Amino acid sequence: MGDNGKCLWPLSPAPTFDEVYQGAPEQEIEYNRFLESVMHPRESGKKPEALDGIRVLDCSTGMVIGHWASSMLSELGAETIQIEPPEGDELRKLTPFGRKDWYFKDKENGEEIGMHFLHEMRNKQSITLNLETEKGREILKKLAANADVLIENAAPGQFDAWGIGYRQLSKANPRLIYCWVGQKGQWGPDKDRPGELEPTAQCACGFTHGTGFPKSFGGVPTRSGLWMCDHVGGTTAAMGIITALIYREQTSRKGQFIEATGAEAIIRINDYNWAWYGMDGSIRPRYGNWDLAINIYAVNPVVDGYLMVGGGHDRLWYRIWKTVGKDRPDIEELIVLDKDLRVVTNRVSHYAQVKTYTALCEWGKDNTRQEAEDKLLSEEVASGGVLFIDEVAEYAHFKYRGHVNVIDDALYGKVLYGTSPIFAEKTPARLKWIGRPIGYDNRDVYPRLLGYTKKDLNSLSKEGVI
Amino acid sequence: MSILTCEKCGVTNYLDPYTFWDYEGNFKCAGCGELYFVKKVNGQIKNGPTAGKGSEYRLPGYAEKREGNNFTPMNEEGNVSPPAKARADFQGKPIDMEESVRGNLVAGRPLKPEELKGGIWKEILE
């Protein structure tokens, strides 16, 4: 990627239908032609949107969790309005290594925007509103009166104290679904603890302790490089909102109060950790790229990177070693002659895993990812290289499915992006635009929803309200 | 090589990829305590094994003594790097599961003599 309007992708074209299905049986070709006709995202723009008619006000700032939740909804067609303070969300300025050359700029004003925030402004309108002013809060009340969903992540109780919390807004609009998002929750002993941001949540939920190389191999607790608590917590928020919408439409005719948090979303994902600890006090140790319950099931170093190999049961286990044995019969022999490795459960003990992976890597050190993958796949063993982002972007499969794509945005030019994973026959998710500058839609939203004139907007702007 | 047999005691030391994929220094034989120097880059031995240099060392991840088709683990504490533990105080003997969800040992059964050719499963020789 470079300046706005330029995009290096794709370096090579995606394969054609005929190239992909060449030589396949006619029934398979016919079925895939059907699948692509109903699922491929190139058809999405022609179809209705599942959340068409649903209006979402995203008042969250400074955290991705709320933006991610509203992105899920905006991709599914909800009219989503991002409400920012007049100076804009602070996340707009985040950029890798603090480098401004990695900002995008809009074509109208040249306003800079960080890539992370840009991607989570997809399909949203941006308006500014200063909720720290009485007038700003009155305006929010009016907006909420005509909204279906409101998302906020203010300090617990802040909106309530301001008179714009669930208790007040739901009186004016009983159909409002009000969602508070955060990292640990808006009630309970830690509710007012400062600095409750995404990395704190990753550490507080057990995830970070359980991720990384084992302590005995010099490993340290490792947080996810992506803002996982925000993304998983935001997804649960979106699920909660959508189920509340269904309940409202089918049963209650009323909205409700929802809360979703990053730390607690991952606590749910830590599923068997709880049962194990509750049983006898065991704490799941970090095991790096290996797995506690399956051997082989790991990412292993090879000549040019890392390779995932999976095969815990006999069928795959012996195929893996048969593959290895074609190059290195001495290594195959070390494994298949060892009686202690013949029973699948014995293979999972720690030292069996060390022996296994040391032997596998002794073979891997002479193979590239592609060479090793080709050899293993020839024996139908699950395997795959650990791909770099450029390799994923150029990966024929994802390119063909339209999963990595480029949008030529009216404001930001060509931007490479990951497509929504929600493929659907009738109401797929889609990308309509990538983002908006601060307050870009004041001129549309306020007149349309509240009847404000240009003069009103100028006045509110001078007062610091918008 | 990541699998090195000690010339003195015949114990095979497994230099695990976590610790030794890129490594320059000594490892200590799990059998006799002899120090060997190795330099490994991206899994490849660039130098060694030669006589140890200095007194610093790392322990192999796993070690065993091989006699024909018999492999005897040499994993006493202090010989190899310690395992990851779910409980620091766990000293008991693990009780391994034996049955699959279908109630049989399809994936994990010990092979029967008639299924073997020598010590190797016939299926993988086919």
CATH code for the domain of A258: 3.40.50.10540
**How many domains is chain A built from?**
2
What average pLDDT does range A349-358 have in this prediction?
A: 94
User: For residues A330 and A341, what is the distance between their CA atoms, to the nearest angstrom?
Assistant: 16
Q: What pLDDT does B113 receive?
A: 72
pLDDT above 90 for A216 = no
Task: Nearest by CB to A336, from B83, B96, B120: name it.
Answer: B120
How far apart are the C-alpha atoms of A364 and A372, rounded to whole Å?
Answer: 7
Does position A268 have pLDDT exceeding 50, yes or no?
yes
Backbone angles phi, psi at A208, to 5 degrees: -65, -40
Q: Which residues of B touch A356 (CB under 8 A)?
A: none
User: Which residues are CB-contacts of A422 (< 8 A; sequence separation ≥ 6)?
Assistant: A75, A76, A428, A429
CB pair distance less than 8 Å for B3 and A215: no
Kindly state whether B86 is in contact with chain A, defined as any CB-CB distance less than 8 angstroms.
yes
For tokens 């005995």, name the residue: A216
| Strand partners for B14 | B3, B62
Phi, psi of A191 (to 5 degrees): -60, -30
Residue A38, in any domain of the structure? no
- For chains A and B, what is the number of CB pairs under 8 angstroms? 130
Do A214 and A247 fall within a single domain? yes
Mark whether A171 and A212 lie in a shared domain. yes
Q: Are residues A326 and A240 in the same domain?
A: no
Boundary-marking domain end, from A331, A353, A387: A387
Test B84 with A301 for CB contact under 8 angstroms: no
- The answer to whether residues A139 and A223 belong to one domain is yes
Q: Is B67 on the interface with A (CB under 8 A)?
A: no
In this predicted complex, what is the ipTM? 0.79
Pair A381, A413 in one domain: no
Residue in A276, A302, A350 nearest the CB of B83: A350
Residues A303, A217: one domain?
A: no
User: pTM score, two decimals?
Assistant: 0.88
A338 and A219 assigned to the same domain: no
Among A315, A325, A365, whose Cβ lies nearest the Cβ of B43? A365
Mutate which of B18, B79, B122 to test chain A, going by most A C-beta atoms within 10 A?
Answer: B18
For chain A, give the percent of residues with pLDDT over 90.
88
Asked if B43 and A362 come within 8 Å (Cβ–Cβ), the reply is yes
Residue A33 within a domain: no
Region A35-62: mean pLDDT is 95
B121 and A318 within 8 Å at the Cβ level: the answer is yes
Q: Is residue A43 predicted with pLDDT exceeding 70?
A: yes
End-to-end CA distance of chain A: 34
pLDDT at residue B126, rounded to an integer: 60
Whether residues A145 and A173 fall in one domain: yes
CATH at residue A317: 3.30.1540.10
Task: Output the pLDDT for position B101.
Answer: 58
- DSSP secondary-structure letter at A109? T
All residues of chain A having their beta carbon less than 8 Å from the beta carbon of residue B77 are none
**pLDDT at site B102:** 55
Residue A37 belongs to a domain? no
pLDDT tens digit string along A78-124?
999 999 999 999 999 999 999 999 999 999 999 999 999 999 999 99
Q: What is the mean pLDDT of residues A206-228?
A: 90
- pLDDT-derived band at A340 (thresholds 50, 70, 90) equals confident
Q: Are residues A125 and A213 in the same domain?
A: yes
User: Taking the domains of chain B in order of start, what are their residue ranges?
Assistant: 1-81+102-126
Q: What is the mean pLDDT of each run of 10 residues along chain B (126 residues)?
A: 94 95 96 96 93 96 94 92 76 58 51 68 63
Taking 50 as the threshold, does the pLDDT of residue A416 lie above it? yes
Q: Which domain holds residue A326?
A: 297-387
Do A327 and A230 share a structural domain? no
